[in-house]
């Protein structure tokens, strides 16, 4: 998936897990294929999971990041109205794996897909409740750290230009370039609030019949039952978590989410801008290595091109 990727086998993962938790010796362990873009995800028994970094980095820096993520996960789990992983510690590197890694509880559920629940109003309401609960949590004196999405849109100009260049054979880049030129100039009106920071479908777990037609009531309507990848929980532009509206929902259900959150025109447009910035990086980067992620990018960009919010 990445040029600097660190390989991981089940045997190496088991050795590291037992080194941290000898009581887990003999537990069934399996690496989940094509899950996680920054980590190898390992399921341990029925109640635990491990995340081993995929990309090479400086060891102590990785440890600091993992420890910070575990503090954020604890805070997220307290604030979230749906289940989220609880941290269980940071493991040491070993002879066959060069970096620290993290252990957490397993959250059951089926990962959402870009189209699977797009017409489900229940999911839209639950997402609005989730985002509202996160925003209501107290950030204290913390402010946006200045790294990644969630600060100034213009800080991402170079990245967007790079993505558009790499996508010339894959996407309608002229229209997307014009959309970014409008989006990047949107001002900011809201103070920082606590955000998940990456509400993509793969980080949202649902139950029920994901193929059910939520409009005619057939089957069991899916419900949101879990949120994953919560280590980035922190202060940011509150519009950042609105990306889920274009990643997951159709036009009518986006309106349900917006109305419940009472998002202003500006906040809503900035949410679309963050969704655009994220989606532009998915298609070209994952086209040949993780097609499901590339498909998410195409789906989100298609919804944005059809939505007048950034017209």
Q: What is the pLDDT of residue 215?
A: 46
Residue 222 vs residues 31, 46, 229, 248: alpha-carbon distances, Å: 27, 22, 21, 13
pLDDT digits (tens, 9 = 90+) for 81-101: 999 999 999 999 999 999 999
Alpha carbon distance 17, 45 (integer Å): 12
Start-end of H helices in 152-263: 157-166, 173-183, 243-248, 251-261
pLDDT, one tens digit per residue, over 254-292 is 999 999 999 999 999 999 999 999 999 999 999 998 999
Orientation angle between helical segments 265-280 and 173-183, nearest 10 degrees: 140
Task: Report the predicted TM-score, pTM, of the whole model to 2 decimal places.
Answer: 0.92
Question: For 244-254, what is each residue's pLDDT tens digit?
Answer: 999 999 999 99
For residue 228, the model assigns a pLDDT of 96
Residue 304 predicted with pLDDT over 80:
yes
């Amino acid at each position: 998936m990445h040029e600097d990727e660190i390989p991981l086998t089940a045997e190496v993962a088991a050795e590291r897990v037992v080194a941290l938790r000898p009581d887990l010796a003999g537990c069934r362990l399996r690496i989940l294929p094509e899950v996680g873009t920054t980590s190898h995800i390992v399921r341990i028994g029925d109640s635990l999971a491990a995340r081993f970094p995929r990309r090479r980095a400086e060891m102590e820096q990785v440890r600091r990041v993992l420890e910070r993520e575990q503090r954020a996960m604890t805070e997220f789990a307290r604030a979230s109205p749906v289940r989220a992983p609880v941290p269980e510690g940071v493991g040491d590197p070993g002879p066959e794996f060069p970096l620290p890694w993290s252990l957490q509880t397993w959250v059951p559920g089926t990962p959402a897909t870009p189209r699977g629940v797009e017409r489900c109003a229940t999911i839209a309401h639950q997402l609005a409740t989730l985002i509202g609960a996160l925003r209501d949590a107290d950030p204290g004196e913390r402010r946006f750290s200045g790294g990644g999405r969630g600060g100034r849109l213009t800080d991402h100009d170079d990245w967007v230009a790079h993505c558009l260049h790499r996508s010339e054979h894959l996407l309608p880049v002229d229209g997307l370039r014009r959309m970014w030129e409008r989006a990047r100039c949107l001002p900011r009106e809201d103070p920082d609030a606590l955000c998940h920071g990456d509400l993509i479908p793969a980080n949202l777990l649902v139950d029920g019949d994901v193929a059910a037609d939520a409009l005619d009531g057939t089957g069991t309507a899916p419900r949101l039952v879990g949120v994953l990848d919560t280590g980035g929980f922190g202060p940011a532009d509150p519009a950042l978590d609105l990306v889920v509206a274009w990643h997951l929902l159709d036009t009518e259900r986006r309106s349900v989410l917006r109305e419940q959150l009472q998002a202003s025109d500006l906040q809503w447009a900035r949410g679309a801008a963050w969704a655009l910035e994220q989606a532009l990086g998915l298609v070209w980067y994952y086209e040949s290595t993780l097609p499901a992620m590339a498909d998410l990018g195409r789906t989100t960009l298609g919804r944005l091109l059809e939505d007048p919010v950034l017209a």
